[in-house]
């Protein structure tokens, strides 16, 4: 039903995930190892000391300074060499412009860590708008004549492409679109390839169910929506076949890695 017969070069470059030992270890299929763990890093503008996350005791939002470098070094010493960076900007607006600023918090973080650690660590970066918009939604919000609001899918894609490109320019190994917009992988792959970043991989949040389990993350990243919810773009928890459609669609568009979230609640998927 969901054939992969159109996975063709150059949209798909299987060597992208073989180009260094960190990537090969991350996606190896038949073992479970510390080399496959990915540590989330929440980096926040405007703070100078680590800030404990109340909903996740013992976890912190990190300032962009030597304290973050020391933490990442501790991870490295303990063989955790893969991180995913989530940014929390000081300034938010309706279009999340700090998300794609070349001087944005994620972009500066990636540059700093790359300069410090070189290629000894694998850096994944979250591609979304919810932390950066003043309304907390994952895309461009438009009001309809009847007063309701929608996420403008295609306008949002343009910004996702700009975000991903800015992350690649900063030194990200993998960009991870998490907004569940239709066509997000295709748009990002197109932009990256056009600008010479064919080796930057895409890890798509292909099957991201609408879930209450995200509450601690939204607290950590200051990304809860100010109104409404995300059920018009995140997956319905009742649907399994639709999940397969999402995965196949993203693979056809050029995703190198696909994921299911939240994982433990959807092991059947």
What pLDDT is recorded for position 6?
61
What pLDDT is recorded for position 5?
60
Q: Which of 81, 162, 208, 252 is catalytic?
A: 208
For 161-175, what is the mean pLDDT?
Answer: 99
Q: Which domains does the chain have, with CATH numbers?
A: 14-266 (3.20.20.70)
For 37-60, what is the mean pLDDT?
Answer: 96
81 belongs to the catalytic site: no
List, as one string, the DSSP characters of the chain.
Answer: ----TT--TTT--GGGGGSSHHHHHHH-SS---GGG--EEEEEETT-SS-EE-TTSTT-EEE-SSHHHHHHHHHHHHTT--EEEEEEE-S--BTT-GGGS-TTSHHHHHHHHHHHHHGGGSEEEEEE-STTTBTT--SSEEEE-TTS-EEEEHHHHHHHHHHHHHHHHHHT-SEEEE-S--TTHHHHHHHHHHHTT-TTSEEEEEEEEB--GGGHHHHHHHT---SSS-STTTSBPTT-SHHHHHHHHHHHHHT-SEEEEESSGGGTT-
What pLDDT is recorded for position 4?
58
What pLDDT is recorded for position 2?
53
What pLDDT is recorded for position 1?
47
- The least confident of 69-83, 124-138, 223-237 is 223-237
What pLDDT is recorded for position 98?
97
What pLDDT is recorded for position 214?
87
90 belongs to the catalytic site: no
What pLDDT is recorded for position 226?
76
The whole-model pTM stands at 0.89
Confidence of residue 224 (pLDDT cuts 50, 70, 90): confident
């Amino acid at each position: 039903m969901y054939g992969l017969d159109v996975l063709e070069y150059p949209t798909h470059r299987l060597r992208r995930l073989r180009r260094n030992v960190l990537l090969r270890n991350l996606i190896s299929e038949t073992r479970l190892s510390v080399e496959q763990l990915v540590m989330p890093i929440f980096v926040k503008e405007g703070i100078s000391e680590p800030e404990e996350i109340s909903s996740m005791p013992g976890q912190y939002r990190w300032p962009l300074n030597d304290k973050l470098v020391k933490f990442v070094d501790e991870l490295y010493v303990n063989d955790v060499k893969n991180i995913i960076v989530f940014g929390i900007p000081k300034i938010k607006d309706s279009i999340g412009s700090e998300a794609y600023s070349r001087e944005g918090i994620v972009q500066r973080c990636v540059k700093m860590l790359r300069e410090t650690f070189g290629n000894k660590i694998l850096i994944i970066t979250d591609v979304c708008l919810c932390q950066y918009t003043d309304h907390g939604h994952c895309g461009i919000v438009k009001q309809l004549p009847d007063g309701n609001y929608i996420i403008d899918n295609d306008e949002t894609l343009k910004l996702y492409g700009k975000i991903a490109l800015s992350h690649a320019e900063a030194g990200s190994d993998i960009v991870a679109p998490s907004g569940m917009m239709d066509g997000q992988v295709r748009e990002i792959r197109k932009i990256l390839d056009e600008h010479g970043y064919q080796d930057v991989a895409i890890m798509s949040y292909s099957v991201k169910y609408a879930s209450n389990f995200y509450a601690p993350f939204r607290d950590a990243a200051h990304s809860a929506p100010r109104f409404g919810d995300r059920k018009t773009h995140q997956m319905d928890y009742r649907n399994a076949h639709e999940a397969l459609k999402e995965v196949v669609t993203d693979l056809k568009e050029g995703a190198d890695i696909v994921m299911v979230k939240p994982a433990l609640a959807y092991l059947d998927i």
